[in-house]
Amino acid sequence: MENAIHQLEDNGVQSYILDLRNNPGGLVKAGLDVAQIWLDGDETLVNTIDRDGNMLPFNMVNGHAITHDPLVILVNEGSASASEILAGALHDNGRAILVGHKTFGKGKIQSVTELHDGSALFITVAKYLSPALHDIDQVGITPDVQCTPDVLTSPKASLLRDNSTASALESDSCIMVAEHELEIQLSKGTAS
């Protein structure tokens, strides 16, 4: 991702859409590494809380964002685990606007013990909270702006529907909403 952002910056890109829809996550460390690409300073990326209520924040150390251009993150009910942690980190630190639908809500930290018969025992030992202390597990993250992926109602959408060569991305109403949010952010940047 770092290389891609550097390339895009060299080509004059002024805003970004990070599409985490239907991203089931993966390694939490990878999500935190991606968050650090977009943030400066010593921001909290995520918090963990154990069953006794002990909270542990995971903070950046002297972070330096590759770009400060406006960022919108697309999320939906298929965005889970590390992708939710990434979205929460960038949103709660004021770096990104979230567009889409409420995320899946997978924020458990589990210890895995393999048993003698090859099966495994998963024990939940803690859970993740966003930097603003919002519970992710079984709750999900609610976006700033909702969109309706299957219903296109804007004038631009009507033109795209009538154009048989329009790509799925061009006719995706969530992307259209994200583009609108970026236009607002860019106009605020030029007005100040």
**What whole-number distance in Å separates Cα of residue 125 and Cα of residue 154?**
47
The residue type of 39 is L
- Closest by alpha carbon to 66, among 1, 135, 160, 147? 1
**What whole-number distance in Å separates Cα of residue 37 and Cα of residue 47?**
19
Would you give the DSSP letter of residue 161? H
81 is catalytic: yes
- Closest by alpha carbon to 141, among 91, 72, 71? 91
Write out the two tokens for 141: 């993250």
Contact of 52 with 39, CB cutoff 8 Å: no
Residue of 83, 106, 130, 173 with catalytic role: 106
Our measurement of the distance from residue 123's CA atom to the centroid of its chain's CA atoms, rounded to an integer in Å, reads: 26
**β-bridge partners, 124:** 110
Residue of 15, 29, 79, 81 with catalytic role: 81
156 is catalytic: no
Active site residues: 81, 106
